[in-house]
Structure 1
Amino acid sequence: MSLLKVAGLGKAFGGVKAVDGIHFELAAGELLALIGPNGAGKSTTFNMVNGQLPADSGSILLNGQELVGRKPRDIWRMGVGRTFQIAETFASLSVVENVQMALLSVDDRLFSFWRNASDHKRDEALDLLAQVGMRAQADRPCSELAYGDVKRVELAIAMANSPKLLLMDEPTAGMAPKERNDLMALTKQLVVDRGMAVLFTEHSMDVVFAYADRMIVLARGRLIAEGKPLELRDHPKVQEVYFGSGKTFEKNQAAERVAPTPVESVA
């Protein structure tokens, strides 16, 4: 049974159709990669699922509930989490306080200024940090962390509302090869442990081939292919629109090879 069902989704800016009637589904316990060249409509699709952009047409169902027309905060409360291409944390706060701020928001107490964040659900925040391998750095300021560790903290923050669906926009952007592998292996394990679904955009094809259960490919706002990554490796249309003449998935992977650690597939 599908957790997320997107049907006939469309969005235009002026006379340009950024997303043109796309359809796809995503099941719990699955990682789905959304790929395509620049301008394909990936970010616009993400922003419509998240409620940051209103859809012009179509439907986005989460467990049968319509998301189109809802505000981002309402969608977040329905169990949709998100991480961003550039990690968003409060640099002046400690690692654990960043997670506690997210837990305050879950409890609708973010603007209770008389209550110190350090007093709120510290144990729960520490547990979330333990899940992403950051428990030992809980009391360090975020400003002191390496970028890969900041991305782990952002992932813990995204887990604060116990999401059924997690949206990850270019999760490994700006990361070294080992950091990319570590973060996606961690994400895969969280999917297995929590039974949630992940929709992610990604330019690094080594990450897609190593960790995505399926992928969908957009070009000029339209869905041109979907299936298991290895099945689409030699798809002529995908090769053409994603890499252009003379380029292949294999050449792209060779340029950024990381030899990812094997991870069991999600059933």
Structure 2
Amino acid sequence: MSLLTVNNISKSFGGNKAVNGVSFDLPAGQLLALLGPNGAGKSTCFNILNGQYRPETGSITFDGHDISGMKPRDIWRLGVGRTFQISATFSSMTVLENVQMALLSRERKLFGLWKPAPSYFREEAMDLLEQVGMAAQAERACGVLAYGDVKRVELAVALSNKPRLLLMDEPTAGMAPKERNALMALTKKLVLEKNMSVLFTEHSMDVVFAFADRMIVLARGQLIAEGDGETIRNHPKVQEVYFGSGKTFEKEGEAS
């Protein structure tokens, strides 16, 4: 049974059909890549799933709940986490404090504190940082971290709500090859350990083919292909959309 079922969703902006009748599903414990060239509709699709846009047609079912048109906060509370292409951490706070703030938000205690915020949920926050390999840097300010480490903190923040589904928008953007492979290997490990599902957008094909269990490809708002790495690599419509010729994707590890 699928954890997430997307059925015939559409969204227009003016005369432009940004997402047009897209359907797919995502079982628990799977890493699904959402691919497509610029303007394909990936971000709009993500924003519909996250509740930032209301779909004009279709439905979205998560864990038995119809979340079509629900507010982002309500979707988050059902167990859908999200990371963003541009990091959303507080640079002046420590790594530990960033995660503690997320835990306070989860428990709805941000406006009802009776003792200093750093004293709340310290043990749970440290456990999350241990999971993402950042416990040793817990007392450092996020603003002085390497970019790859900031993304690990953001992942710990996203995990604070114990999500069953994690939406990751360009998680490795701006990262060096070694950093992005390390982050996605960590994500894959968490998927397997927690039986969590991940839907991610990504431009680095080496990351996609190395870590995704399945892939879906959008072009001009429509889903044109889905399947495993070999299926997508050799799909004529995908090759045409990405290259406009008979070229194929480079082998794993060779793409830039």
Give the TM-score band, short-chain normalised. Answer: over 0.9
What amino acid maps onto 1:199 in structure 2?
L
Distance 1:193 1:251 in 2: 28
Match of 1:250 in 2: 250
Match of 1:107 in 2: 107
Aligned: 1:43 with 2:34: no
In 1, are the aligned partners of 2:148 and 2:175 still within 8 Å (CA)? yes
* 1:103, distance to aligned residue in structure 2 (A): 0.1
Distance 1:248 1:86 in 2: 30
Match of 1:215 in 2: 215
Distance 1:143 1:191 in 2: 28
Say what the alpha-carbon RMSD is for the aligned residues: 1.3
Q: For residue 250 of structure 2, give the secondary structure of its aligned residue in structure 1.
A: helix
Match of 1:150 in 2: 150
* 1:254, distance to aligned residue in structure 2 (A): 3.2
Q: Pick which of 137-146 and 242-251 moved more.
A: 242-251
Match of 2:95 in 1: 95
**What residue ranges of structure 2 are gaps of 5+ in the alignment?**
none
Q: For residue 151 of structure 1, give the secondary structure of its aligned residue in structure 2.
A: helix
What amino acid maps onto 2:54 in structure 1?
P
- How do 1:69-148 and structure 2 match up within 5 A? 69-112=69-112, 114-148=114-148
Distance 2:243 2:83 in 1: 26
Match of 1:259 in 2: none
Distance 1:111 1:209 in 2: 44
Distance 2:186 2:213 in 1: 15
The count of residues paired between Structure 1 and Structure 2 equals 256
Q: For residue 87 of structure 1, give the secondary structure of its aligned residue in structure 2.
A: coil
Structure 1 runs of 4+ with >4 Å offset: none
Distance 2:140 2:243 in 1: 42
What CA deviation, in whole Å up to 9, does each residue of 1:174-211 have, x standing for no partner?
Answer: 00000011000000000011101000000001101000
Q: For residue 154 of structure 2, give the secondary structure of its aligned residue in structure 1.
A: helix
User: Percent identity, aligned pairs only?
Assistant: 68
Using the size of structure 1 for normalisation, the TM-score is 0.93
What amino acid maps onto 2:174 in structure 1?
G
* 1:247, distance to aligned residue in structure 2 (A): 4.0
Match of 2:34 in 1: 34
Distance 1:221 1:166 in 2: 22
Match of 1:173 in 2: 173
Distance 1:245 1:106 in 2: 49
What amino acid maps onto 1:8 in structure 2?
N
**What residue ranges of structure 1 are gaps of 5+ in the alignment?**
257-267
Distance 1:255 1:34 in 2: 18
Distance 1:182 1:221 in 2: 31
What amino acid maps onto 1:187 in structure 2?
T
Aligned: 1:235 with 2:231: no
What CA deviation, in whole Å up to 9, does each residue of 1:188-237 have, x standing for no partner?
Answer: 00001110100000000110100000000000000000000122111110
Q: For residue 173 of structure 2, give the secondary structure of its aligned residue in structure 1.
A: coil
What CA deviation, in whole Å up to 9, does each residue of 1:60-108 have, x standing for no partner?
Answer: 0001211112100000000000000111100010000000000000001
Match of 2:13 in 1: 13
Aligned: 1:197 with 2:197: yes
